Amino acid sequence: MPSVTRQQLEAMIKAGSKISLNGQDLQGLDLSGLNLSGFDFSYANLEEANMRGADLSNAILWSVRARKINLSQANLSSANLGTADLSESNLRSAILQRASLLGTSLNKADLREADLREANLYNAILKEAIYSAETQWPTGFTPR
């Protein structure tokens, strides 16, 4: 059971509260479409959460457990996703420009039409990741 509800988060956002969700259990929570720009989710459990279309620009998602998360159409520009587990996640049409994916696990992740220009993919694990001709990679990066 998530440690916070969508309604509680919406109230905190509306009140302009500075929010840290560091280490929180947010498994399966629907956060789709919310403005979560700059939030700190470090070490949180986001497995199977729905963040479709959310604004996560400049968010800190360091070492999150986020297997099977839905981040399709989310804005993750300049977000820090270092050492996160995004295995089997939906990142279709996500914006990841200038994001740090240092050591991030993207095993079997759906990256079709994702924008990864200028992203740091150093030591990222892309085993069996799904991508398309429309996926935009950093200059000089070739997925294997």
Distance CA 63, CA 141 (A): 23
Convert the pLDDT of each residue in 98-139 to its tens digit: 999 999 999 999 999 999 999 999 999 999 999 999 999 999
The domain ranges of the chain are 1-144
pLDDT score, position 7: 94
Residue 33's closest CA among 61, 4, 63, 6? 6
pLDDT score, position 113: 98
Cα torsion angle, 103, 93, 53, 27, sign? negative
| pTM confidence score | 0.95
Share of the chain above pLDDT 90, in %: 90
The per-residue pLDDT string of the chain (144 residues; one tens digit each, 9 = 90 and over) reads 688 899 999 998 899 877 889 999 999 999 999 999 999 999 999 999 999 999 999 999 999 999 999 999 999 999 999 999 999 999 999 999 999 999 999 999 999 999 999 999 999 999 999 999 999 999 999 887
Distance CA 99, CA 119 (A): 5
Distance CA 50, CA 56 (A): 13
Q: Class of the 1-144 domain? A: mainly beta
> Which residues fall within 8 angstroms of residue 8, CB to CB, at 6 or more apart?
none
The alpha-carbon radius of gyration of the chain (Å, integer) is: 14
